[in-house]
Structure formats: C-alpha cells, structure tokens
Structure 1
C-alpha cells in the first residue's frame, strides 16, 4: 500500500536529503510493491527512491535490490545507494526520464522492446535466489524451467523510453526460467495495448525462443494463466486484475479456438 512521502520518519528524509542534496519528492504514478516510490531531486541530481517498512515490503524491496545489483543487462537502471534506518529500507535507483512505452500495433517502441528482449533472452539468471516459474506464476510445466533471467512483468508501466534507450524498471518479480516464458508473459500486455491475440503471437514469433516451445505447452500456459486471473479478479475489485483476466482470457480463447497450431 502506497503512503505519502511526508509520512516518512525524519531520520529517513534527512538521510535522503544528505545524499541527494535536497528532498523535493514527486510520488510515482504507478506500481505498488514499495510503500514509498518517488522521484527525488536535489543539488546532487535526481534519483528514483523506493522505501519499505512492512515485513513484506522490506522482503520485496530487498529482493529487488539484490537482483538489481546483480543484473548486468544495459536496460536495467543502476542502484545508486541504499541504507536502513528507523525500521525503513531505502533504495535509490538511477532516475529514468521519459514516457512509458507504447506497445500498440505499429508503435516504434515495439522495436525498442524487441531489442531488449534479444538481450534478455541471452542473459543468464544471477545467483541471487530468483523466483521459480511456479513461485512466480502459481502454476508450472517442465518446459518453463531454464537458466535465463526473466523479468516477467514487461507491461508499459515498467518500460520507460529514455534518451539513452529503453529502460526496464521494477525487477521485484524476476524469475529463473526458460526464455520463452518472458514472451508468453508479454501476450496479455500486447493485447491490452490493442493487439489481437493473433497479432501478439505474430509479433512474438520474430524471437527465436517462441519457436522453441511446443504449441500444446503454450496452450497449457495460456489456459492456466487465464484461470489464475479469472479466479483472482472474482475475489477482488481491482481494475488491473479485471484487465488481466480479460486479456489472458482472450488469449486462452484464441488458442483454444484456433486450429492453425
């Protein structure tokens, strides 16, 4: 649950101000993994600061810190500094200035994402205790296992188009899996950005990893993912859950109805 920057203890805000050279904070408009997420500007520059206080929040942010420090792909923002005080874990990341990626059909941002996927598809998972496919998704299939670093949450909110290229933020759900899992996890976001399921699959087919997975395995993945989000959305009233239930359901239906695979 997000809270306001002003709710932080003075010991935390003072240390942030010491490091940034000021503490003009603008809250992030998206995301909810950390209790505090804000762009902080001072005389020493700008940083994207996350802070957590709850047990779950601290575990999640500490995991993201470990992954971010270990990830070497050029699309991941660098960790600038971190500290703990007054019961809070505070982490500053490289600030990524720019709009969120547009993943609609024919968007030039798709080319940037495609280039990033090529790099990610070859990135070995760092040895920092990443999620397993089942731990991340709640279901499993032997074909999902692998040694690749998989972000698993490449929605537009986590893709920022900067002057230096695409940046992928929020590695809090990073997983060790087969590279095709990243592509399959992208399908709902492409559908949510205006692609039909067929268009989404056609775009993903340009990546070699897509052709490495058996159609029946993709059928199984699409079905189980849709069932998961249908169940989640029936138990909660969050709009983003309903969206994911819709988008995953449309892909599952397409694969069930399509006879060309």
Structure 2
C-alpha cells in the first residue's frame, strides 16, 4: 500500500536531504505499490528515485530489490545509496528517464526487449534471498526449477526506454528459476499489448530456452496460470486483475 511522503520521520527526510544536497522536490511515482514510498526526489546536487518501507512485505520486497540490483549488470537502476533510520529502510537509485515501451506487434521496441532478455536469460541467480518459482507464482512444476535470475514481472510499466538501452525496474519479485519461466510469464503481457497467443509464441521462439522446454510443460504452466488469475478475478474488482485473467485465459485456451 502506497503512503504519502509525509509518513516519513523527520530524521529520514533530513538524511535524504543530505544525500541530494539540501532542500528537495518530490514527485510520487504514478504506478506500483511494493514500497510504501516511491518518488523522484530532485535536490541541488542530485536527482534520484527513492523507495522506502517501514516493515513487513514492503521492507522485504525492498531487500529483494537491493539483492537483485547488486547481482545484475546494466539492466536495473544502479543503487546510489541506502540506509536504515527510525524503522525505515530507504533506497536511492539512479533515476531513469524515458517512456515505457510499446510491445504491440511490429513495434521496434520489441527488438530492444529481445536484446535485454537475451542478456538476462544468461544471468545466474547467485546468492540473494530469491523467490522459488512456486513461491512467486503460486504453483509449481519440476521443470520450473533452475539456477537463473528471473525478474518475473516484465509488464510494460516495469520497462523504461532510455537513450542507451531498455532498462528494467521493480525487482521485488526476483526469482531463481529456469530461464523459460520468464518467457512464459511474458506471454500474458504480450497478449495484453495486442498480440494473439500465436504471435506471442512466435516471437518468443527466438529464445533458446523457449524451444528447449517441452510442450506439455508449457501446457501445464498456461493452464495453472489461467486458473490462478481466474480465481483472483472472482475475488477482486481491480481492472488489472481481470485483464490478466482474460489474457492468461486466452493463452490457456490456445494451448
């Protein structure tokens, strides 16, 4: 649950001010809810993206993000500093400027995503408090287990097109799994961006991990994922939950 910036203790805001060079301006993030505080902070000496959490799942997610950004080169925003004060964990990262990508069929941004994914697919999950596949998605299969680092939430709002490359933010769900799990979780977002299930699978076929996984394994994943989101949609009025239920259901029906 997102909180207002005024929830931060004075000692915390004072330390942030020291790190950005004095009095600063705050612009809350438009999306996401893992951290209680998520804002762009602009001070005399620096412009940074600040996340903060006081306890529970929010703080744990932020620790996951710290571990992931230490383990992955280039793709996440660089951690500039972090500290704990008055019960709050506060993290300041590189501020990434740029739009979210267009992942619709034929978009040139798909090539940027492919380049980034090919690099990420070869990144092992070393150390860190990673999620297990079942702990992340709520269901399991022996083929989902692996040793690679999987972001597991590559929806367009977690992707930023910078001048240099496509960058990935919000690593709170970083998972140690087989590489193909990342691709299977991307299917629903490709469908949500306008792909048919056939188009989504055709695009994913460029990745060796997709071709290596058995058809029965993908069938099982698609069916379980669709069942999960259908169950969630019956208990939620959130539009994004119903969207995911629809997109996951399309893929399962296709399989």
Please, what TM-score do these two structures have when normalized by structure 2? 0.97
Mapped contact 1:80–1:92 kept (Cα < 8 A): yes
Question: What is the aligned partner in structure 2 of residue 55 from structure 1?
Answer: 56
Find the aligned partners of 1:124 and 1:69 in 2 and give their Cα distance.
Answer: 12
Q: Give the secondary structure class of the aligned counterpart of 1:96.
A: coil
Mapped contact 2:71–2:125 kept (Cα < 8 A): no
Q: How does 1:126-145 map to 2 (within 5 A)?
A: 126-145=126-145
Question: What is the aligned partner in structure 2 of residue 13 from structure 1?
Answer: 13
Residue 202 of structure 2 is aligned to residue 211 of structure 1: no
Mapped contact 2:49–2:94 kept (Cα < 8 A): yes
Question: What is the aligned partner in structure 2 of residue 201 from structure 1?
Answer: 201
Question: What is the aligned partner in structure 1 of residue 233 from structure 2?
Answer: 233
Give the CA RMSD over aligned residues: 1.0
Question: What is the aligned partner in structure 2 of residue 259 from structure 1?
Answer: none
Shift in Å, 1:129: 2.4
Runs (4+) off by over 4 Å: none
Shift in Å, 1:69: 1.9
Q: Give the secondary structure class of the aligned counterpart of 1:235.
A: coil
Shift in Å, 1:160: 0.2
Deviations 1:193-224 (A, max 9, x none): 01111110010011111100111110000000
Q: Give the secondary structure class of the aligned counterpart of 1:229.
A: helix
Q: Give the secondary structure class of the aligned counterpart of 2:234.
A: helix
Find the aligned partners of 2:201 and 2:56 in 1 and give their Cα distance.
Answer: 39
Unaligned stretches of 5+ residues in structure 2: none
Find the aligned partners of 2:127 and 2:87 in 1 and give their Cα distance.
Answer: 27
Question: What is the aligned partner in structure 2 of residue 38 from structure 1?
Answer: 39
Mapped contact 2:64–2:174 kept (Cα < 8 A): no
Please, what TM-score do these two structures have when normalized by structure 1? 0.95
Question: What is the aligned partner in structure 1 of residue 191 from structure 2?
Answer: 191
Q: Give the secondary structure class of the aligned counterpart of 2:113.
A: helix
Mapped contact 1:191–1:197 kept (Cα < 8 A): yes
Find the aligned partners of 1:234 and 1:11 in 2 and give their Cα distance.
Answer: 43
